[in-house]
Amino acid sequence: MPEDGDRTRCLFGTDGVRDVANRGLMTPEMALRLGRSYVLFLVERGISRPSIVVGRDTRRSGPMIECALLSGLASAGADVTCLDVIPTPGVSYAVTRLSCDGGAVVSASHNPSEYNGIKFLGSDGCKLNDGEEAAIEDYLGDIIFDEWRPTGPSVGNVYSRSELSSDYAKWVLDTCCIDVDPDLDIVVDCSNGAASYIAGELFGKCFRRARVIENNPDGSNINEGCGVMHMENLASVVTSGGCSLGMALDGDADRVLFVDPKGRMIDGDI
């Protein structure tokens, strides 16, 4: 096989594999196959029984894709820890916190709810590079793919550690010790996404007046008229309430944009 850096990708885009859920590239069948290929990728690099964490956002299709992915990973011999709904950076945290060999995120980030995706992480919690993703694709057509069938105790375990989302929020509080004014009146738009269940706890401990909005996911309303793709929603709440600052997250909570008291967007560009 060519070196990782020499391979080209067909399935993977700039941030994993994405498509309309249950169609095209993002079916349960493909999720299972990608899970098996990821384990083969790790095994071929000397990791005999990989340990992998998996988290997701709040899309209706999330549990469907997640279950298929977990099956693929475990059927290839990996021990898998399911984190349930958790921000993408929380999955990276869990990879290093649990000293895992890798991780996977089931999310389509800022895309509409009908989309979903899978992104793989390395042992450092960072996204795999292009060559590594291309190598995972290679295993889908390799003869070893169908022959690799662990049995008995060689089949992987699947564990549940949903409490790690709260641990991640506490870790953020402990490590991001910035000098903030606790009396700031802020609004946080969760995009009905992965930060919905922890944002209140997190920002409520930083600010005495922290208002969390768009944090009632129903499986279909992620990124719908809210979040980083719809800053007008947050700007309206901030200006009408006379607030000091607004923060908008995307669906998997790995991106943030701000608005000032006048509702003007602050995007971080210089």
CA distance 255 to 247: 10
Burial of 53 (0-12, 13-18, 19+ CB in 10 A): buried
- Which residues are marked as active site? 109
Q: Which amino acid is at 117?
A: G
Longest distance between any two alpha carbons in the chain, whole Å? 63
- Dihedral sign computed on CA atoms, order 169, 170, 175, 177: positive
Tokens of 191: 């995009």
CA distance 79 to 58: 24
CA distance 234 to 118: 28
256 backbone dihedrals φ, ψ, rounded to 5°: -140, 140
